[in-house]
A = this chain, B = another copy of it.
């Protein structure tokens, strides 16, 4: 069981609160994201979901991902025009993209820090969103590279 029951119920309520239905397809997509939290692309979600709902179409996966993000249950993650990835972590965080192995890591905000304080806003900007992405090599790949160099 990928998604804890209480999380599932909260998702249900959120969906219903918008006058929408928690269909099998939406639940399955949500479960996939809550299961392996590795920031899959739409196509990856599609192949995983088909294990549970073999008749689902890619268009529906896109639709489900849209509704889930629209409800605020899931976040869309983009990086350099690569296919969009999806993430059920609702806490404020940034992402690290490993150029070597392709993994994506969540980077939590350090306590008492705010992104808005790092850059200078020349005027009265009204911030509704921000997205921060780092890239380079992850700890595993960095270690591997250091060893092979020696």
A-side interface residues toward B, CB under 8 Å?
76, 78-81, 84, 93-94, 96, 99, 105, 107-110, 113-139, 142-143
Contacts and interface: CB of A to CB of B under 8 A. Distances in A.
Contacts of A122: 105, 107
A107 B117 CA distance: 11
Contact of A132 (B115, B125, B135): B115
A93 B119 contact: yes
Given A78-B80, A110-B119, A118-B110, A125 B136 contact: yes
A138 B125 contact: yes
B132 A130 contact: yes
A120 B130 contact: no
A86 to B, nearest CB: 13
Contacts of A105: 122, 125
Given A125-B138, A126-B136, A130-B132, 15 more contacts: A76-B80, A78-B80, A78-B81, A80-B131, A99-B128, A107-B120, A107-B121, A113-B118, A115-B118, A116-B134, A123-B139, A125-B137, A125-B142, A127-B134, A127-B135
